[in-house]
Amino acid sequence: MARNRVIYQSEAVFCNKDASLSGGYKQLERVQSANYSFSINRQDINQYGQLGKLDSIQLDAPTVNADLSYYLSDGFTERVLGFYVKNATEPEAGFVSGHLADGSGRNLIVLTTPEGTDADLPVRSSLVATNQSIGIGNAYLSDYSVEMAVGAIPTVSVSFDALNINADANGAAISSPAINPVDGTAVTHPDGLEIPNATTGQGTIAALRPGNITVDISNFNTSGLANIGTTADGAHIQSASLSIPMSRSTLERLGSKSAYARSVDFPVTATLSVSAIVNELQATNLVDIAADEEEKDVTISIVNDAGVKAVEYTLKGCSMDSQAISSSIGSNKSIDLTFSTSVGGPADTSHGVFMSGISDTAV
């Protein structure tokens, strides 16, 4: 029976760490949206003496984009997506270090079950013929951002540039969406992809509360026009947004219709934007602020309802880039601050963004 529609109930999103493999897929937790698109750039061929075009040919590799949003929890979803999330037993490394090298990218699979059924039923096999799927092949991270604000659940958005997209109407043999970056041929697995059963209630944290977020910018309290408080007396921060853009260049060559790599454009700069209610002004001078070239750290910590630290972001080697104070009738006087740090190499533990989480689930 044909579906009348598809809603979130019937969808689950999976990811693996290597597009060339048939297995290694894990389900992403707390997904709120999933969007994908492709476009093909063609050039019309015209000539003198004929009004209509002779042909329309493809000059560049097709552009495939995908973006997801999900609630921040314990770091599990970040691990599945290939980010480095330190737990209690692991050494420190850069958060995006796993996305700096080209590699083959990742595959994203959006599984769709029959209308009116939960995709998260453990008893439902994800490889039955009634299921369908959309696959995003050779997906490379192009942006990671997390939004935190008073009255809102902390939410992560990720974007990918990919090389291919496919659809399967028969869930009994989901084909790989990946292509071989060397020659542009499809990656085939005779037995289909090894997509696990979707599960219900993954993780121990349903969602994190804004009241459990602490943004520690106390290292910069002497470098600003306003005193917005410290972690000791309760900073009056209203929102914080962390963004790690990783724009990529499409590398092509003669003799191939496909891009052979989507390489990161360096340098990569992570930015933290903070908005807060002004407490008191403090004695300072722009000359002194500009002269302060010492690199400092900023920390964002979120605990669960039991008071256990669920996730923590640390921006190392930060600089303060801007401050803007605004006031008007009927509203609180506010200040907007921007901090930035450069993303270092995989072995650089002094610069960039670092994340830790309580999830220790192997991925």
- pLDDT tens per residue, range 209-252: 999 999 988 887 655 555 555 544 556 889 999 999 999 988 88
Query: Is residue 308 a part of any domain in this protein?
Result: yes
**For residue 278, pLDDT beyond 90:** no
- Radius of gyration, alpha carbons of the chain: 23
* pLDDT per position as a tens digit, 293-342: 678 899 999 999 888 999 999 999 998 888 888 989 998 888 898 999 99
Query: Is residue 3 a part of any domain in this protein?
Result: no
Query: Is residue 49 a part of any domain in this protein?
Result: no
Closest to 114 measured CA to CA, from 65, 49, 33, 171? 171
CA distance 244 to 242: 7
Query: Is residue 48 a part of any domain in this protein?
Result: no
Query: Is residue 2 a part of any domain in this protein?
Result: no
Decide the pairing of beta strands 11-16 and 106-112: antiparallel
**The token pair that represents 113 in the structure block:** 């079950």
- Where does the pLDDT of residue 203 fall: very low under 50, low under 70, confident under 90, or very high at 90 and above? low
Query: Is residue 87 a part of any domain in this protein?
Result: yes
Measured from the Cβ of residue 177, the count of other Cβ atoms closer than 10 Å reads: 27
Query: Is residue 51 a part of any domain in this protein?
Result: no
Closest to 347 measured CA to CA, from 168, 93, 76, 164? 93
For 97, the domain range is 11-38+60-357
| E strand spans, 232-305 | 237-245, 248-251, 261-264, 269-277, 280-281, 296-303
Q: Are 18 and 192 in contact (CB under 8 A)?
A: no
Residue 288 belongs to what H/E stretch?
Answer: helix 286-291
CA pseudo-torsion sign 288, 289, 292, 297: positive
pLDDT at position 213, please? 94
Residue 76 belongs to what H/E stretch?
Answer: helix 76-80
The more confident residue out of 283 and 5 is 5
CA-angle at 277, arms to 275 and 280, nearest 5°: 125
Can you tell me which residue has the tokens 């903070």? 274
Averaged pLDDT for residues 340-359: 90
pLDDT at position 359, please? 85
Measured from the Cβ of residue 199, the count of other Cβ atoms closer than 10 Å reads: 14
Query: Is residue 46 a part of any domain in this protein?
Result: no
Q: Any idea how long the chain is?
A: 363
Q: Are 93 and 166 in contact (CB under 8 A)?
A: no
Residue 145 φ then ψ, to 5°: -145, 150
The more confident residue out of 257 and 312 is 312
The tally of CA atoms less than 13 A away on the side-chain side of residue 256 is: 17
pLDDT at position 232, please? 47
**The token pair that represents 173 in the structure block:** 């043999």
Residue type, 119: A
Q: Which of 123-132, 254-263, 338-347 has the lowest mean pLDDT?
A: 123-132
Number of separate domains in the chain: 1
**Mean pLDDT, the chain, as a whole number?**
86
- Where does the pLDDT of residue 53 fall: very low under 50, low under 70, confident under 90, or very high at 90 and above? very high
pLDDT at position 200, please? 53
